[in-house]
Amino acid sequence: MKLAIWVIGQYHSPYIKTGVEEYLSRLQKYLPTEWEHIVSSKAKKTLNPDQQKVIEAEAVLKKIKPGDKFICLDEYGKTISSVELSQLMQKCMIEVPGRLILLIGGAYGLSDILLKQSLMNLSLSKLTFTHQFAWLITVEQLYRAMTILANEPYHHE
């Protein structure tokens, strides 16, 4: 299995980019990981949030290949622990024939079109984060999950 993390939008903060790149490089030790920005519509100023989310969903769906499965990160998704995330990753590494895509929406979140088609919808926390903080938290938690599976000391229960 390959891991893909798709995010809608571009970096605005250099420290987020630095942190994401650090954890992406750490993740490569455990499984092939790709990071991709899905650029949102240039016409977004004329669209309402729901229209924007539909356009973003269409862009995402065009990129999904047969055998790929995706998980949406959504504020209303299921909250799980880091250990449960490691168990989910282990299960996906066995069962997902293509890529496992973790999808993080833009400032308005993800369209119901994607949420209904996803393998599952996860929430990072009951707290609200900017979508760029969600990027950093996601890659750190994926790295933590992989160190749990490898029984390495990064995670202390």
Q: What is the pLDDT of residues 121-143, one digit of tens each?
A: 999 999 989 889 999 999 999 99
What is the pLDDT, as a whole number, of residue 107?
Answer: 82
Give the separation between CA 85 and CA 78, rounded to whole angstroms.
Answer: 11
36: DSSP letter: E
Residue range 54-80: mean pLDDT, rounded: 95
User: Does the structure show a pLDDT above 70 at 67?
Assistant: yes
Q: Is the dihedral of CA 127, 149, 100, 12 positive or negative?
A: positive
Is the distance from CB of 149 to CB of 123 less than 8 angstroms? no
Helices (H), 4-117: 14-27, 49-63, 82-95, 112-117
pTM: 0.93
- Domain extents in the chain: 2-149
Q: What percentage of the chain carries pLDDT values higher than 90?
A: 84
Least confident interval from 22-26, 51-55, 82-86, 89-93: 51-55
Domain 2-149 in this protein, CATH class: alpha beta
Closest CA to 57 of 97, 117, 5: 117
CA distance 107 to 85: 24
DSSP state of 44: G
**Rounded to whole angstroms, how far apart are CA atoms 72 and 34?**
16
Q: Residue 9 pLDDT more than 80?
A: yes
